Amino acid sequence: MDTTTDLPRVLEQLWGIEGRQRPGPKPAFHISDIARAAITLADSGGLAAVSMSKVAAALGFTTMSLYRYVDAKDDLYVVMLDHAFGEPPVLEQATWRERITAWAEAFRDAMVRHPWILQVPVFEPPLSPNQLAWMEQGLRAFEDTALAPGERVSSMLLVNIYVRGAVQITADMQSRSAEEAREADRLYNARLRLLADPERFPAIVAGLVDPGGHDDEGDPSEFIFGLDSVLDGIQARIDRKAEKP
Amino acid sequence: MDTTTDLPRVLEQLWGIEGRQRPGPKPAFHISDIARAAITLADSGGLAAVSMSKVAAALGFTTMSLYRYVDAKDDLYVVMLDHAFGEPPVLEQATWRERITAWAEAFRDAMVRHPWILQVPVFEPPLSPNQLAWMEQGLRAFEDTALAPGERVSSMLLVNIYVRGAVQITADMQSRSAEEAREADRLYNARLRLLADPERFPAIVAGLVDPGGHDDEGDPSEFIFGLDSVLDGIQARIDRKAEKP
DNA sequence: CACACACTGTGTGCGCCACACACAGACCAT
DNA sequence: ATGGTCTGTGTGTGGCGCACACAGTGTGTG
């Protein structure tokens, strides 16, 4: 009946579930050491720079020693994500809109700090402590609204999805320097101008090739602008609820 | 001044830019053959099942022959995506809301048909013909609105982001059978119930552990529900524009 | 009409990867 | 003290993306 044992080893470690006192040598380090080493590699070289052997070498251990802490490469990603996000912000603003905005900005900041997060393949919903804590805070932002628990989940996920997507599009796609990112943008525009025939793709030419009103997409206010649209949508749902109880 | 030559070979091929008649043997196949073979592999075994050697073997050629058509593995992904999405739907509905909804549903359907799309790493904005055509149609959905071209781009991207994220959360995360997906869901709930302490994570327990009002997330109406929120947000932006011209 | 040469698919091989497995030593409960 | 379990290590395997040299092919140009 020991239902804890069927948890992946990584989750046991992250949640600090002690595998009780046991014979055998003491572990030489902790998964948080693995997380730090892997994150350092990923921050400077993208997710592709993270391999079991490189992480192990950075720690001064052999490759296979990592498998005592992590069952597979995917579990390494779990540890990295949990460590990279850290603890969520405490939201003490007055309105739900201010709270979820602060949450979204903190979320965005974490992804900008660690662009490789966007490259991590997602296989299942999060179960690690910090990730759950972020979810909890995001849900609590809607505490004083009329939304039902399930609707709060949808709304939180909506914001979550938006931030992820917005960062994906806005920031340099991979972990490039600012200069490289600008060059990539220039090249993209040149190619778009070359390929997008105004007859076949008039809307694209009008919207992307010709800068039009506001020119740049990297504009940080663009993030808030899009977020406000998302929040307006949630607001509409709240309003509708208020009308018909 | 031949600016077309600095295009990646894949884009030249996809756009049908003929490399004029030249000496040498005729190509034995076309990138669309590569796309079909790779997609077949990915549909049945996930993106991890796609390797240069397996695709080549499926075509009856050697691994290295593929590099005559595709400069690198990432370019193979470009071809796969373009082929998997195919041509976008023609939108002839009366209102922008109906049009963008149809567009979003077609987009969702494509991703449900090919779940591996979510696993494809994104390195730069799309430039392939079908992808541009989808963008074009998405932008045209807002044709009769007061939105400026740049705002139409933002709105289209907002919907695009939403669909991607919604499918990511809703559908089985990787390409699993329905039965495996149900089992994964059951396991996730069991683990969540185990880890989410009601004292520390009351909102998560209320929203995810206890089914509450509506129970399932896989519900297809949930997709429309969330999409409507997004569209309400865009509507709010349009309304605001109408008030203050 | 011949031929030069660009272009085709092929074969070999390199370095890297995730991971299996057997092992020697470290440590705690008894 | 000692048995059993857990530690980190060493070696090895199959797969991967891709570089590079190569032989054959067919067309534009002489």
pLDDT for res B211: 61
Cβ-proximal residues to A173 (8 Å cutoff; 6+ apart), any chain: A118, A184, B122, B123, B124, B125
Q: What percent of chain B has pLDDT over 90?
A: 73
pLDDT for res A104: 98
Q: How far is the CA of B175 from the C1' of C8 (A)?
A: 36
Closest chain B residue to the Cα of A229, Cα to Cα: B233
CA distance B187 to A69: 22
A149 in B contact zone (CB under 8 Å): yes
B27 C-beta less than 7 Å away from strand C? yes
Cβ B120 vs Cβ B77: under 8 Å: yes
Chain C nucleotides reached by a protein CB under 7 Å: 4-13, 16-22, 25-29
B68 C-beta less than 7 Å away from strand C? yes
| Two tokens, residue A132 | 């759950």
Query: Is residue B123 scored above 90 in pLDDT?
Result: no
Vertex A179 angle, CA A173 and A181, to 5° = 20
A25 in B contact zone (CB under 8 Å): no
Pure H helices in B46-171: 52-59, 73-85, 96-113, 129-140, 149-170
A98 in B contact zone (CB under 8 Å): no
B169/A229 CB distance under 8 A: no
B23 C-beta less than 7 Å away from strand D? yes
CA distance B118 to B115: 6
B15 in A contact zone (CB under 8 Å): yes
Considering only the C-alpha atoms of chain B, give the largest distance between any 2 of them, rounded to a whole number of Å. 75
A232 in B contact zone (CB under 8 Å): yes
Query: Is residue A212 scored above 60 in pLDDT?
Result: no
Chain D nucleotides reached by a protein CB under 7 Å: 3-12, 15-21, 24-28
Long-range interactions of B9-14: CB distance < 8 A, separation 24+: B9/B69, B9/B70, B9/B71, B9/B75, B10/B69, B10/B70, B10/B71, B10/B75, B10/B78, B10/B79, B10/B128, B11/A191, B11/A195, B11/B78, B11/B127, B11/B128, B13/B69, B13/B79, B14/B78, B14/B79, B14/B82, B14/B128, B14/B129
pLDDT for res A2: 40
Query: Is residue A239 scored above 80 in pLDDT?
Result: yes
Which nucleotide is the nearest neighbour of A60, by CA and C1'?
A: D8
SS3 B229: helix
Contacts of A232 in chain B (CB under 8 A): 232-233, 236-237
- Residue A166 CA to its chain's centroid (Å): 11
pLDDT for res B170: 78
A62 C-beta less than 7 Å away from strand D? yes
**Tens digits of residue pLDDT in B143-193:** 999 999 999 999 999 999 999 999 998 766 555 667 777 888 888 999 999
Contacts of A162 in chain B (CB under 8 A): 158, 161-162, 165
B152 in A contact zone (CB under 8 Å): yes
State the pLDDT confidence band at B116, using cuts at 50, 70 and 90.
Answer: very high
CA distance B226 to B223: 5
Number of A/B CB contacts below 8 angstroms equals 198
Long-range interactions of B171-180: CB distance < 8 A, separation 24+: B171/B111, B171/B112, B171/B115, B171/B218, B172/B115, B173/A122, B173/A123, B173/A124, B173/A125, B173/B118, B174/A123, B174/B46, B174/B115, B174/B119, B175/B42, B175/B43, B175/B44, B175/B45, B175/B46, B175/B115, B175/B116
**Exposure string over B44-65, b if 16+ CB within 10 A, otherwise e:** eeebebbebeebbebbebeeeb
Considering only the C-alpha atoms of chain A, give the largest distance between any 2 of them, rounded to a whole number of Å. 75
DSSP assignment, residue A134? Answer: H
Nearest to B14, CA basis, from B129, B117, B125: B129
Nearest to A95, CA basis, from A137, A144, A135: A144
B121 C-beta less than 7 Å away from strand D? no
**Tens digits of residue pLDDT in A60-109:** 999 999 999 999 999 999 999 999 999 999 999 999 999 999 999 999 99
B28 in A contact zone (CB under 8 Å): no
B204/A127 CB distance under 8 A: no
A188/B127 CB distance under 8 A: yes
A230/B152 CB distance under 8 A: no
* pTM for this entry: 0.93
Which nucleotide is the nearest neighbour of A70, by CA and C1'?
A: C19
Lowest mean pLDDT among A32-46, A217-231, B129-143: A217-231
A15 in B contact zone (CB under 8 Å): yes
Winning range, highest mean pLDDT, from A71-75, A122-126, A208-212: A71-75
Q: How far is the CA of A136 from the C1' of C17 (A)?
A: 37
CA dist list (Å): B124 to B45, B68, B74, B77, B78: 25, 22, 11, 12, 10
A50 C-beta less than 7 Å away from strand C? yes
A171 in B contact zone (CB under 8 Å): no
- B173 or A31: whose pLDDT is higher? A31
Query: Is residue B3 scored above 70 in pLDDT?
Result: no
Q: What is the dihedral of CA B136, B137, B138, B144, to 10 degrees?
A: 100
Q: Which residue lies nearest D28, CA-to-C1' measured?
A: B23
CA distance A225 to B18: 43
| Among the partner residues B148, B206, B236, nearest to A149 by beta-carbon distance | B206
CA dist list (Å): A149 to A28, A112, A144, B188: 44, 30, 11, 19
In A189-208, the residues whose Cβ lies within 8 Å of chain B are 191-192, 194-196, 200-204, 206-208
CA distance B207 to chain A (A): 5
